[in-house]
């Protein structure tokens, strides 16, 4: 199960249901991109030893 305590299964099930039922997913593309950019900023901050603002990477 990992460290998500089943969250991945629940997320995948809800995403599948949205596809099968032609309904909107709970999480948007913008939500996903924001999450990835936040992670990139965190890694850049660690590597450079400074605060990295999201707007630096949001291009």
Q: What is the pLDDT of residues 10-47, one digit of tens each?
A: 888 999 999 999 999 888 999 999 999 999 999 999 99
- Residue 53, domain member (yes or no): yes
pTM reported for the whole predicted model: 0.69
- Residue 31, domain member (yes or no): yes
- Residue 1, domain member (yes or no): no
pLDDT of residue 2: 58
The DSSP string of 1-59 is -TTTTTHHHHHHHHHHHHHHHT---SS-HHHHHHHHHHHHHHHHHHHHTS---HHHH--
| Tally of structural domains, the chain | 1
pLDDT at 48 over 80: yes
What domain range is 14 assigned to? 7-57
Q: Provide the sign of the torsion angle of the four alpha carbons 38, 40, 43, 47, taken in this order.
A: negative
- Residue 51, domain member (yes or no): yes
- Residue 2, domain member (yes or no): no
Distance, in Å, from the CA atom of 58 to the CA atom of 50, rounded to the nearest integer, reads: 17
């Amino acid at each position: 199960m990992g460290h998500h305590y089943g969250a991945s299964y629940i997320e995948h099930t809800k995403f599948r249901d949205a596809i099968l039922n032609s309904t909107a997913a709970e999480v948007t593309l913008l939500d996903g991109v924001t999450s990835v950019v936040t992670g990139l900023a965190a890694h850049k901050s660690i590597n450079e030893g400074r605060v990295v603002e999201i707007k630096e990477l949001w291009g």
